[in-house]
Amino acid sequence: MKFLFLFAFPIILLWSCNRPEKNTSHNPNELTYRCHEITKGTLPVTLTLSGDKATGTLTARLKLENAGSKPVDIQDVTISTSEGIRSAPDSGNVSFSIQPGTDSTFSLRFHPINDGHLYRIAGMPGNLKPVYNLSITYKTEGDNDLITSVVKSQADKGEYATYCRKYKRPITGYSFDTKVGFNVREKKYLKTLKQGGQQPFVYLSEQEIAVSGLNFRLHGYILKDTLHAELYILNHSEFPMKIIPGAFDITDDANAATGTKFIKLEKISGSQQDLSMMEKGDRAVIHFKKPMKIKSLGKERLSLHLQKVFMLTGRKNLFNEDVQLLPVTL
């Protein structure tokens, strides 16, 4: 899933401004959008946009016509929220040419990031938005200037309200507690290890931990009395590290767990022969799920158990203590 925030850049913007087309879809599982069209200029654009209510997938059906006298080179097609969060199609970058007097009709699927705050903390894209802008960036043959045509689409207010009532759910996410002195204590501990012959570096932010070239990023949330978490790991250091997946856990003081934990270690890059060993450049993620019924949801802290999960040479713990998690209402 690819996304980025939309910034100003030196290209020509063409916005659709004619009357929106009528919404003719009656699929109860889809959220349909009324889409403007671009009928003038070099590249007339016709768009049909719908969203799968259950999965949050957007399907865009496009017809692009070359009304000019030169070939048109399509450089990119993206979709963005009104807040400026831009998402690329599932297929990646879109690039092709349309000859003069011809057209191209095609479909693109998007899994858009709709809520940047929710995605950063919980790794979830958020509910579909009522408004999207679809951008087609192109240039004509022999001209280096990029032109971006922007087609606006909007869901019916009543249909969107019905969708939100059914699918919008309260979510409690979790972030690292950065105010408990973790950085100072962990750095002091690492100095005793003298690992790799370098000065230890420790930095703890709301969702990330950086420890001497080892980077950890947390996505965590509770939904329907189940705690979900993913810990992404990247080894930029000069030394190897071993992962003990079974030692990974997230607990609370009130022992709210109502079932056994599920853990899966996935090696994203690096040797697949030993999934638990991470050399320089390796990437991995720990998938975690655990039934928990927390009485004071949104108020109670959790503990992320890392102390015995990551081992350095000589069976030394990377972390000298566990990390506290703070609830975040999303």
Structure confidence at residue 9 (pLDDT): 39
**pLDDT under 50: residue ranges of the chain:** 1-11, 18-25
Supply the CATH number for residue 140's domain. 2.60.40.3880
pTM: 0.85
Q: Could you tell me the residue range of the domain that residue 36 belongs to?
A: 3-167
Query: Do 283 and 256 lie in a common domain?
Result: yes
Compute the Cα dihedral for 123, 127, 131, 133 and give only its sign.
Answer: positive
How far, in Å, CA of 219 to CA of 214, rounded? 17
pLDDT digits (tens, 9 = 90+) for 224-271: 899 999 999 999 998 999 999 999 999 998 777 888 999 999 999 999
Percent of the chain with pLDDT over 90: 81
CATH of the domain at 231: 2.60.40
Last residue of some domain: 136, 167, 198?
167
Q: How many domains does the chain have?
A: 2
Cα torsion through 106, 155, 169, 162, rounded to 10: -130
Same domain, 281 and 228: yes
Same domain, 56 and 142: yes
Among the three residues 167, 183, 210, which one is the final residue of a domain in this structure?
Answer: 167
Number of H helices, E strands in the chain: 3, 25
Share of the chain above pLDDT 70, in %: 91
User: Tell me, what's the pLDDT at 254?
Assistant: 79
Structural tokens at position 121: 């903390």
20 and 152 within one domain: yes
Indicate if 197 and 311 belong to the same structural domain.
yes
Q: Could you tell me if 85 and 110 are in contact, meaning their C-beta atoms sit under 8 angstroms apart?
A: no
Say if residue 185 is in the same domain as residue 132. no
pLDDT tens by residue, 119-147: 999 999 999 999 999 999 999 999 999 99
